[in-house]
A and B are shown apart, each in its own frame.
Chain A
Amino acid sequence: MNGLFVSSSPHIRSARTTQKIMLDVIIALLPALIASAVIFGPRTLLLAGVSAAACVACEALWEKLRKQPSTVSDLSAVVTGLLIAFNVPASMPVWELIIGDMVAIFIVKMLFGGLGCNFINPAMVGRTVLFLSFTADMTNYVIPEKAVDALSSATPLAIMGELGWNDFPELLLGIHGGVMGETCALALILGGVYLVIRRVIKPIIPISYIGSTLLFSWLFGGEQPVLSLFAGGLMLGAIFMATDYVTSPYTNKGKLIFGIGCGLLTAAIRIFSNSAGGVSFSILLMNLLVPYINGLTMPKPLGGVSEK
């Protein structure tokens, strides 16, 4: 016998891996990606592919230059790439999109130490940098090919006051202007349900985020608080961006505080500042508070006696 392995217990491990989790997130994004291709045309697929590839390439390049072991197989760069693509309109020039990818991977992710070490969501920063740098291109919302009325040719958040419940089906299906991945609320919710069923995420953040957005929108006197939930980037942000493990709190209580904070900020920005990007700024701001939320919501160890 040529030697036995000796290692620290436990000697069995669960089947869950980072790669499988990321793959599940990619699968969960597919309905919305398909919906975007149907609504805005096949260019969305090109953007998604380029963005994912660019993120993977950036990570691989960084690790090559820094002589670090490659981590691209964990698929987290693919998720970041897809999410950035989801946050640009279908008309976005490809080179601008790639700048967003580079910002996300080089500056936000790798500079801080790679996966798990970034303190804010890379995709969200990529999106925000693009929004502030190329505002015109980022808000050049493509009108859906199947546009039928005023709603479908505009971004609904801008004309919330004019909308009524008869516009709900179009909101739900996403047949209206907006960035490519955010419009089809139905597809995003479907992806979210998949993630919950696969136990990749808990529903706490999406539900508390969306719920508190509704509550505060109503309290702040926003127009059409219920319908506005299905407009803009809320569904995409609440289901896919705010639930990012690295930049959200550990515990259920922490997640609840985080979700409510996001909702409060989103409602406030949407109603009081009239600025697009309420969801992005809210999530980024709450990302910064995660260490404090984690500190405040530390579970009490069973039988732990605090030092006097």
Chain B
Amino acid sequence: MSAVRLHGVRVPHMKNTAGRKPERMGVPTVVTIPMSMHIGAPAEPVVKPGDKVMVGQLIAKDAGPVSSPVYSSVSGVVKKIDDMLMSNGKFMKAITIESDGKQDIWDQLKVPEINSFENFIAAVKDSGVVGLGGAGFPTAVKLDIKDLSRIETIIVNGAECEPYVTSDTRTMLDDAEYVWEGIKLLQRYLQAKRIVIAIENNKPDCIRTFQNMCSGNNGIEVAIMPSIYPQGGEKVLIYNVLKKIVPEGKLPIDVGAIVINCTTVAAIARYVKTGMPLIEKCITVDGSAVREPKNVIAPIGTPVSDVFEFCGGFKEEPKKILYGGPMMGIALPSLEYPIMKNNNAILAFGQKEALTPEPTACIRCGTCIESCPLRLMPTEFAEAYEAGDAERLGKLKVNLCMECGCCSYACPAKRPLVQTNRLAKSFLAAHIAEKKAQAEKDSREGANSR
């Protein structure tokens, strides 16, 4: 194990909205709720067009071991259930609900009864909570550790290293009790020996809040992390907090760690305390084109256009709209996209920021290598990919790339390295699959000829 510091880049923080308490926006007239706002099998609708639904009512149940249920964020009538084009280019079933504006709460909501690990996990599943830091992995699946003695440390991720995004910051300040309740639940039901709340040092208020809460509590501590992007990346955080390396193909639990986002923790506690599942999100709305950047509490399924509207609309014509922060966020082709469970920000940029700089020749300066937190060699990936050399890509471990964006950000030649990494990753995956299929075919033919 090495004690070498991981690389990263010093991005501009742009936490313009950190000081503003989130404002709750009005009820949208229509919400569109996709069945996949998580990693895993899409949820299955349990309502049909014409059905009346209420706030917090189950509208789609989890389908399979890795999945998550979906609840209505408004009261109203189901208008349609059909395919929508998601930001990843795939079609996904989505439930469109016309709101009646009353926000009547579902009468069958009840506070879950929790007295064991099993019903804690069941409650986490029923809460509809997924990784709210952005990954969207179903939290119940992550926490369902068969052998609890394997858990040495739970890291509550409050790093929030993406520029602009402050929704985790606001959760840690405004919902500190929920975060704390959630931590206590994890401590009790996962029998965690040590819980570390990791917060970047550009959030002194959050650090102070939790340091105060931690005093006198054994086994819960705050770790102050340097504000170097991507501090909040799972593998990066595990290394920086525990100095442990998660090996390729393994999970954090294999080194005794669980990383869970602070807003995820708060959402679990909210469900356990109130019985209200995940139906709304605190969203940072910012970017050069937004008139009044602020944090907004928006019902899931609200079109991003409504959320921007609530922030005073645009002060210049938006040319790029992002789901998430500028380092890893996804550019949206229209304003029709809905707020999803795992969204934490929507950003709008004007012409100047929207343009991608023209790439120039690689000058082999090694800046990309110097900025990669996982010690990969992006420039070599690009070379190997262009040469179609899958063997070399495998040796260079392009599959480990987490697409954090450091290499592209730092590159003085403005080369689209992350994009090349993505292409190279799928090229390598296809090559491996092909090789495997060929090997199977060969062995079958070998068996036949005998």
Contacts and interface: CB of A to CB of B under 8 A. Distances in A.
Interface of A: 1, 4-14, 16-18, 20-21, 71, 74, 76, 114-117, 245-246, 249-251, 298-305, 307
A169 to B, nearest CB: 36
A251 B361 contact: no
Looking at chain A's contact residues, the main secondary structure is: loop
Interface of B: 6, 9, 11-12, 163, 235, 239, 245-250, 317-322, 326-335, 349, 353-357, 360-367, 369, 373-377, 379, 394-397, 400, 403, 405, 408-414, 416, 418-419, 422
16 contacts: A1-B317, A4-B331, A5-B331, A8-B418, A8-B419, A14-B410, A74-B361, A116-B361, A246-B363, A299-B375, A300-B375, A302-B235, A302-B245, A302-B375, A303-B235, A303-B247
A10 B374 contact: no
B232 to A, nearest CB: 15
A18 B413 contact: yes
Contacts of A16: 367, 410, 412
A32 B326 CA distance: 42
A12 B163 CA distance: 10
Given A5-B354, A9-B403, 20 more contacts: A1-B335, A4-B321, A6-B320, A8-B422, A12-B326, A13-B411, A16-B410, A17-B412, A17-B413, A17-B414, A116-B362, A245-B365, A246-B364, A250-B379, A301-B400, A302-B235, A302-B239, A302-B374, A303-B235, A307-B395
B341 to A, nearest CB: 20
Contacts of A7: 320, 331, 356
B360 A71 contact: yes
Contacts of A301: 248, 374-376, 396-397, 400
Contacts of B367: 16
Shortest Cβ-Cβ A-B pairs, 7 listed:
A10-B405, A250-B366, A8-B419, A299-B375, A245-B365, A301-B397, A11-B326
B317 to A, nearest CB: 7
A117 B163 CA distance: 35
Contacts of A9: 326-331, 403, 405, 408, 418
B398 to A, nearest CB: 9
Nearest to B317: A1
Given A8-B418, A10-B405, A245-B366, A305 B247 contact: yes
B400 A304 contact: yes
A252 B239 CA distance: 21
Contacts of A5: 319-320, 331, 354-356
Contacts of B408: 9-10, 13
A18 B322 CA distance: 28
A83 to B, nearest CB: 15
A249 B364 CA distance: 9
A68 to B, nearest CB: 11
A1 B335 CA distance: 10
A10 B413 contact: no
A6 B333 contact: yes
A250 B400 contact: no
Contacts of B246: 303
A245 B357 contact: no
A25 B412 CA distance: 14
Nearest to A22: B363
B306 to A, nearest CB: 15
B387 to A, nearest CB: 14
Nearest to B358: A69
